[in-house]
Amino acid sequence: MCSVPPPPPPPPRTLELKQINSPELPSHAEINPTPKFPEICEWASGNLELWEACAKNSICPQNAPFSYKYTPFESILQVGPTCGLAALSMLVKNKVTASAMLNITRTEGYSNKGEMLSCKDMVKLAEKVFRLAELENVNCTLVNGELFSNDVIEKLLEGAVLLVPYDADANHSPCLRQGHKAHWCLVSGVIIINAPGDSLDSDSNNVYVLCKHGKSRYLATWKLQELNNSNRNLWEFSPPRGTDSHLYMLPEGGIGGENGLRNQFVIFNGL
């Protein structure tokens, strides 16, 4: 009996490969690209932090300012009521930490919890910290008077840095709350928008300062006049809710007196 052989297997199917139009995987450099600045605040594009602050607040978005000076400092966040210590630690590039400064303030009787409610004590602390940080040729001066002045603006343009107490609003910008939200900031730059008139302080809308403080990592831009007004309004200390006011070291005469914070700030030259 004859058997019929099975039919041969079918020929292999030819698969048509379709190209998937997906982008190539980026290289490492493309994953973390060098920032490309749009055509806004191009004058500040040499420093990303400065550019972000000015672009966000529309400061000279198209044309370069008449004049500006900025000295960058790394942000340091405060722990507890140590805003002044955090600002000072930024100034010395953390060569002396805020925690180490807290020990000094307690030993010297400047504060209990890190609060610095006296500009005179801040000068004394700064001098001790500079010695520990081995920073030489830095001049530290307590100033009583107007922050918004031709003299102060000139010094900022020359590279001076300030420690300024002020009242902080909910977004940490300067406000007028009689000192109930007293805070410290580090002023490390100034921007003169347009050519000034007879003096640098002839127009309160023409001068901005570049600031950092212990409650944000971002560079802030505020009108110098508004910071000045806030500094002059520090009349009385109000402890945070739920705390005992006796835990805080108040200077004689309170923060509104000559040993306190009102209408005072500290200026540093030679950094």
Enumerate the active-site residues: 83
CA-only gyration radius of the chain, Å: 28
C-alpha distances in Å from residue 269, one per residue of 22, 139, 234: 57, 5, 25
Q: Can you tell me the distance from the alpha carbon of 188 to that of 67, in angstroms, rounded to the nearest whole number?
A: 15
> Helix/strand/coil (H, E, C) string of 125-180?
HHHHHHHHHCCCCCEEEEEECCCCCHHHHHHHHCCCEEEEEEEECCCCCEECCCCC
Burial of 42 by CB count in 10 Å (0-12 exposed, 13-18 middle, 19+ buried)?
middle
Q: Which residues are CB-contacts of 28 (< 8 A; sequence separation ≥ 6)?
A: none
> Helix/strand/coil (H, E, C) string of 215-249?
CCCCCEEEEHHHHHHHHCCCCCCCCCCCCCHHHCC
- At 30, phi and psi to the nearest 5? -80, -25
Structure tokens at 199: 């003096």
C-alpha distances in Å from residue 264, one per residue of 105, 171, 242: 20, 23, 29
Q: Can you tell me the distance from the alpha carbon of 163 to that of 143, in angstroms, rounded to the nearest whole number?
A: 10
Q: Which residue has the tokens 């409610």?
A: 117
